[in-house]
Amino acid sequence: MSSDQLVLRAAVAAYLGRYRGQTRLHTNSDLRIFLRWCDEQKLFPLSAVRTDIERYVRWLQEVRRFQPSTVSRRLSIVGRAIDRAVGDRDDGPILRNMLGGRMDRHAATRRLKHLAATAGIRMPRMHPHMLRHTFVTTMLDAGVSLRDVQIAARHADPRTTMRYDRARKNLDRHANYILAAFMASGT
């Protein structure tokens, strides 16, 4: 995974972390649609410029046929995040390191450690990949299917996703026990 992808995942996780309940669900849905559109357009989301956003709005209106209120809501989500990251600047990278250059994985690691320390979280060897690991293992622990986790994590090979499955030795999830429980239920 490239450093740009790590930065994007960290930015998405940090942004969604501010919301709870239904607001978080709607925000996550809106953000997923934009990220999927960017992927189809071969556009890195944090590199989007005004013309890209205008193309996205037209796509929401003409292809997805969303109502104007839905388009407005969906657009207000990728806008608040970008406005917050950009501040009063009108050029340059959206996420910057301490010197004002594009944030790389080292700067992302330093930022994550700073945020963790501010929140009172003390962990040795903290790095951005821990966010990805937590994302994957939490989905697996919540019972999300391996295939759905694989898709969400963008793993090409399901064996990569299976390496994250720390609960794979849990007998409750073993295929034989699942089959026995199904047969015992009489359905």
> How far apart, in whole angstroms, are the C-alpha atoms of residue 35 and residue 33?
6
**Beta bridge mates, 96:** 102
Which pLDDT score, from 0 to 100, does residue 35 have? 92
Q: What is the mean pLDDT of the chain?
A: 81
pLDDT tier for residue 41 given thresholds of 50, 70 and 90: very high
Concatenate the DSSP letters of all residues of 16-52 into one string.
HTT--HHHHHHHHHHHHHHHHHHHHTT--GGG--HHH
Cα within 13 Å of Cα(168), Cβ side: 10
Which pLDDT score, from 0 to 100, does residue 147 have? 87
Segment 163-168 mean pLDDT: 69
Site of tokens 């793993």: 155
Which pLDDT score, from 0 to 100, does residue 155 have? 85
Higher per-residue confidence, 130 vs 175: 130
Which pLDDT score, from 0 to 100, does residue 27 have? 84
Quickly count: other Cβ atoms within 10 Å of residue 93's Cβ: 16
Which phi and psi (to 5°) does residue 102 adopt? -60, 135
pLDDT digits (tens, 9 = 90+) for 4-34: 787 888 888 877 877 788 888 888 888 899 9
Across the chain, the runs of DSSP E, i.e. the strands, are none
Which pLDDT score, from 0 to 100, does residue 117 have? 85
Segment 127-134 mean pLDDT: 83
- Rounded-to-10 torsion of CA 94, 4, 128, 81: 30
pLDDT digits (tens, 9 = 90+) for 49-107: 878 888 998 999 999 888 887 888 777 766 666 777 777 887 888 778 888 888 888 88
pTM: 0.44
